[in-house]
């Protein structure tokens, strides 16, 4: 919905009215429609009667009891209490996020490990030939690491770009009518994602370095493709 669009407002008695959007404000807790008394009177054809008041009080909550003692006051809602209650209900999302991060790390490790293992196994004769030509184990490892680094860098760039759209899709999907989540990604999230990806790539390379060092040049060159 954009400024200038029309939308239907259903009154408490079931009557429907068409209103125009003149401005949009983000309400992360609950949703409201704000209109001036004149706009209300023009739309419904009656003078608005206020039935609630927004009070900003810097002190404690000692004013709650006197208000509730007034017969004209039916309830007092504290915004901070509402925020705390919603915070308790959304704490489970933090646990789910941690589980997803752990599973993503495990998946990254498995994919990198299998790709590197298959790469070495499929090119065992080529690598053995390079060792026969006099390449040291360190030089042979760098030969493989260079390819892994390129694949890892490409995966990081693609993941960062796709992660923005995936994050926005997930956040908007889990939203409910009375609660909105800010679609903000902090810079440290990008840093941690890149750091974890490089850490797993380095760990896999160190593990595969053992396999590269154990390549049997004679037996590998005797295999028939």
Reading the block at residue 76, the tokens are 């007092």
Q: What is the mean pLDDT of the chain?
A: 80
pLDDT band (50, 70, 90) for residue 217 = low
Please tell me the distance from the alpha carbon of residue 99 to that of residue 87, in angstroms, as a whole number.
Answer: 19
pLDDT, one tens digit per residue, over 183-205 is 888 888 889 888 988 888 888 88
CB-based contact 105:200 (threshold 8 Å): yes
- For the entire predicted model, the pTM comes to 0.63
Q: At residue 221, does pLDDT exceed 70? A: no
Task: Say what the pLDDT of residue 24 is.
Answer: 84
pLDDT, one tens digit per residue, over 104-156 is 888 888 888 888 888 777 777 777 777 777 777 777 778 778 888 888 888 88
Per-domain residue ranges of the chain = 1-51, 88-222
Q: At residue 215, does pLDDT exceed 80? A: no
Nearest by Cα to 108 from 44, 69, 156:
156
pLDDT, one tens digit per residue, over 9-68 is 887 777 888 888 888 887 777 778 888 888 888 888 888 888 887 777 776 677 777 777
Q: Report the 10 Å Cβ neighbour count for 7.
A: 11
Q: What is the 3-state secondary structure (H, E, C) of 169-186?
A: HHHHHHCECCECCCCCCC
């Amino acid at each position: 919905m954009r400024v200038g669009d029309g939308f239907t407002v259903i009154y408490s008695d079931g009557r429907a009215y068409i209103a125009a959007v003149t401005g949009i404000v983000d309400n992360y807790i609950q949703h409201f429609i704000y209109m001036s008394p004149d706009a209300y009177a023009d739309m419904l054809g009656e003078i608005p009667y206020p039935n609630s008041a927004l009070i900003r009080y810097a002190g404690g909550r000692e004013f709650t009891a006197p208000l509730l003692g007034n017969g004209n006051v039916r309830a007092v809602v504290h915004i901070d209490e509402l925020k705390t209650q919603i915070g308790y209900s959304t704490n489970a999302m933090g646990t789910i996020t941690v589980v997803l991060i752990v599973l993503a790390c495990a998946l990254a490790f498995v994919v990198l490990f299998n790709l590197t293992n298959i790469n070495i196994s499929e090119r065992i004769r080529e690598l053995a030939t390079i060792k026969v030509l006099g390449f040291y184990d360190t030089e042979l490892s760098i030969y493989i690491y260079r390819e892994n680094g390129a694949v890892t860098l490409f995966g990081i760039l693609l993941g960062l770009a796709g992660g923005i759209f995936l994050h926005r899709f997930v956040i908007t999907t889990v939203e409910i009518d009375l609660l909105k989540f800010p679609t903000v990604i902090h810079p440290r999230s990008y840093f941690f994602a890149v750091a974890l990806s490089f850490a797993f790539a380095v760990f896999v390379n160190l593990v595969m370095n053992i396999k590269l060092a154990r390549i049997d040049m004679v037996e590998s060159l005797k295999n028939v493709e």
